[in-house]
Structure formats: structure tokens, C-alpha cells
Amino acid sequence: MRRSHRYWLTLLMVGVTTLGGTRVVTAAPSPADCAAEADRASRDSGSIVGGAGIGAATGAMFGVIVGDSRRSARRGAALGTVAGGVRQGVRREDVYKNVYDACMRRQ
């Protein structure tokens, strides 16, 4: 049995209308989802130990240049360790807050 052009045209129009009018509905993220996303982002931003290590190396170099002694290098490394660890910790908190807030705004 052969179908007419009108049949196929009608079928095509119904298909286009049905597919064109559908929307994908996604649920708004919950606070727990946003917290999990922010936690993953803050963990990927680097570790506090890494920041402390870089701070210690930088502080030791600064101590050697300024003080020109082993004692100055140790002091610089100690101060750099503390400063680098604190800086990395603050950075992780900022990343967490920014990602969490951006996720909650998507609602």
C-alpha cells in the first residue's frame, strides 16, 4: 500500500512540532550537591602542604639573599612555610565559597 505525500507531510509536521516543543527539565541543585561540587573543586586547587613547601623554598632563598647566613635561611624557610600554608588554606576556602555560591545561583 502506497502512502500519499500528504500523509508523510502530516507525519513530518507532527514530529517536528512534538520534538520542537519539548524541553529538558533539570532539577535545581540541592545544597548538598553544591557542597560536594565545591569540596571537589577546593581539593583540586592544591594542598596546604604544597603551599607550605613552596613558601619554605621561597623564604629560604630570601633569607640567604638578605641575611647571607645559614641562620637567616632557616628563619626565612620557617616564615615562608607558615605564610605559604596560610595562603594556600585561604585560597582553598575562597575556591570553595566561589564554587558553592555559583552552584546555588544556578537554581
Coil, helix or strand at residue 17: helix
When pLDDT is cut at 50, 70 and 90, the band that residue 25 belongs to is low
Distance of CA 57 to the CA centre of its chain: 27
Domain housing 49: 28-105
Q: Is residue 18 part of a domain?
A: no
Q: pLDDT value at position 78?
A: 94
- Distance (Å, rounded) from C-alpha 70 to C-alpha 4? 94
Give the pTM.
0.64
pLDDT at 71 over 70: yes
pLDDT at 5 over 70: no
pLDDT at 21 over 80: no
Q: Is residue 42 part of a domain?
A: yes
When pLDDT is cut at 50, 70 and 90, the band that residue 13 belongs to is low
Domain count, the chain: 1
Q: Where are the alpha helices (DSSP H) in 21-106?
A: 31-44, 48-67, 70-105
Residue for grid cell 615562608: 80
Q: Is residue 22 part of a domain?
A: no
